[in-house]
Structure 1
């Protein structure tokens, strides 16, 4: 006898109320819960006092984070002792160099309220961020505020660090001696390539307000004399010549015309056999599997006038139109990949 599977609404409920879990994690990160527990495990009462929380929903908040997998717990309610889960301890403790909570801080402080206007964005095709209220673009608004710029750079570094480490270790650098990271932000990609491939001389290029932060980062890592930090405008200036040109989370900020311009400039800067590497949440060719990449493309609607994330097929077409001979995809961490084009 043939049986039919039961239609289940649980996925609808989980996704439809997903902002419950999201805001709980974002709030825990913002108030420093994981950093506090990174020092030592604490009771619920200790957490309440040290973070200035009200007792009413204290255990609901903490136990929700247990159920979501972000905290561990011994005991229950008044007898409970809480500690970080392994991933929270490594990635959400501000006192650890592996901290990637910057992207969550930015999601909480900026993106969360902007996404409330997704419907407006879908109907108008216009950004729904700071530009909606005062006419400034995303980057104008961020660069005008040094504190916000640092938060943005921390966020971008945090979300990409795992990918940069994976790329630095997995890519075969044997036949390459120089690398230039275009829009290099805080210099994390160049730092990881340098740490894992000593024969490769790396340059990180970005606008002056950013390169000063990148230089601080390189000095702090002991790489100040190894990574070349250069100021420049990647639209206005020629790219420095290098065996490898990289871009991490850059192309998706721009529309097709500007994507083509940046890819053409990369092609021009490379020697024959040189590699152009784009590290992003590349969408699968069928556009049905990488949900995060597709949602990030919606975020580009919220954040930019024309930006969008692209598929493996899109990248292949754009790269070959610019003159590149071949392309391939290297999976990195989570939904991210390195799209590689060879001249």
Structure 2
């Protein structure tokens, strides 16, 4: 990868390609709503709150919230005063009894393994891969050069687009040092210093990714400006000496309590006046879209403990942690960066 790839941006827009990848699980979540729950038939006669929907179908609030954000972004439901109602589109095409009901069409997807896995997430609130993921086996795999190379490439191919996009959208002219929390290969920290000559950077990562990050940063030519600090973002105290924290594609892996924990750790480690940059795909305040983000949230809900949060949720969490809201700026492929300041 040429170093100037962290400064320049592509001429063409890859948004349609990202939507294929990000929306991979959305079809299964909609299939569960139609073929397993018959959600729209029931909801058409029983406008309900999220809590009532969870009680009726014996599902958990986090995945149910993602499901209802998806149906709302698709124009199948609306949310008024905390109550979900079925729209005309939902009544005509996804409610039994309608001559145009597509329920039998979706029923052919009912027993797909991926659809059944999504149903299990709704019922248990556990990621679909929760039981099969072996951290020790993964760490051992990272010692194999071919696996480590593939892992780094997977992180870098998205970061080389998103990292420079973040750097171009934020004013860091008066800042000195950025700490990239759980920064993976270091692609984001490299992009930040590449676009801001005044900055030095560091990546906080646990083993064995810390070694991968050092090698990757060196290959990009930024070892003199970007360090790697070995540590666990949950278990360890965060290093001081940085007036900017960056979390990109981190918080969406975790449920609300852990999100709040990470925001508090950032607040405690930053100096007064320090800046926290949160780069993720966000739903709007009303959770009515964007559709791309609602689709991506289905994937995150299925494979992690998190989801795509709304701007309203994030603002509330930040204020509770002590931060001042500094605004939000779009970056690339439906992602945005929230700027928060330690008062």
TM-score by length of 2: 0.63
Q: What is the alpha-carbon distance in structure 1 between the residues aligned to residue 224 and residue 208 of structure 2?
A: 20
Change (3 A) 1:269 1:320: same
Which position in structure 1 is the counterpart of 2:208? 209
Offset of residue 308 of structure 1: 1.9
- Determine if the alignment matches structure 1 residue 143 to structure 2 residue 139: yes
C-alpha separation between the residues in 1 aligned to 2:136 and 2:334?
A: 29
Report how far residue 123 of structure 1 moved: 2.9
Which SS does the other structure have where 1:122 is aligned?
helix
Query: 2:189, 2:320 → 1: CA distance?
Result: 28
What residue number does 2:221 align with?
222
Deviations 1:67-115 (A, max 9, x none): xxxxxxxxxxxxxxxxxxx859x99xxxxxxxx99x96xx89xx9x974
Aligned partner of residue 208 in structure 2, secondary structure: helix
Q: Distance in 2 between matches of 1:235 and 1:161?
A: 26
Tell me the equivalent position of 2:265. 265
Range with bigger deviation, 160-169 or 257-266: 160-169
Rounded to whole Å, the distance in 2 between the matches of 1:148 and 1:313 is: 39
- Find the aligned partners of 2:162 and 2:318 in 1 and give their Cα distance: 21
Does the residue aligned with 1:308 lie in a helix, a strand or coil?
coil
Corresponding residue for 1:171? 170
Where structure 2 has 5 or more consecutive residues not aligned to the other structure, the ranges are: 1-10, 29-111
Deviation above 3 Å: which 4+ runs of structure 1?
113-116, 139-144, 147-153
The residue number in structure 1 matching 2:89 is: none
Instruction: Name the counterpart of 1:124.
Output: 124
Give yes or no for contact 2:152–2:216 (8 Å, CA) kept in 1.
Answer: no
Report matched runs for 1:1-343 at 5 Å: 115-116=114-115, 117-129=117-129, 131-132=130-131, 134=132, 136=133, 142-146=138-142, 150-241=149-240, 242-304=242-304, 306-343=305-342
216-225 or 184-193: which moved more?
216-225
Higher relative contact order (CA 8 A, sep 6+): 2
CA distance in 2, matches of 1:160, 1:302: 22
* Count of aligned pairs between the two proteins: 238
Partner deviation per Cα, 1:156-212 (whole Å, 9 max, x = no partner): 332233221011122111111111000010001110111111110101110121111
Q: What RMSD, in angstroms, separates the aligned Cα atoms of the two structures?
A: 2.9
Of 113-122 and 202-211, the range deviating more from structure 2: 113-122
Distance 2:312 2:124 in 1: 27
TM-score when scaled to structure 1? 0.63
Distance in 1 (CA, whole Å) between partners of 2:279 and 2:340 is: 12
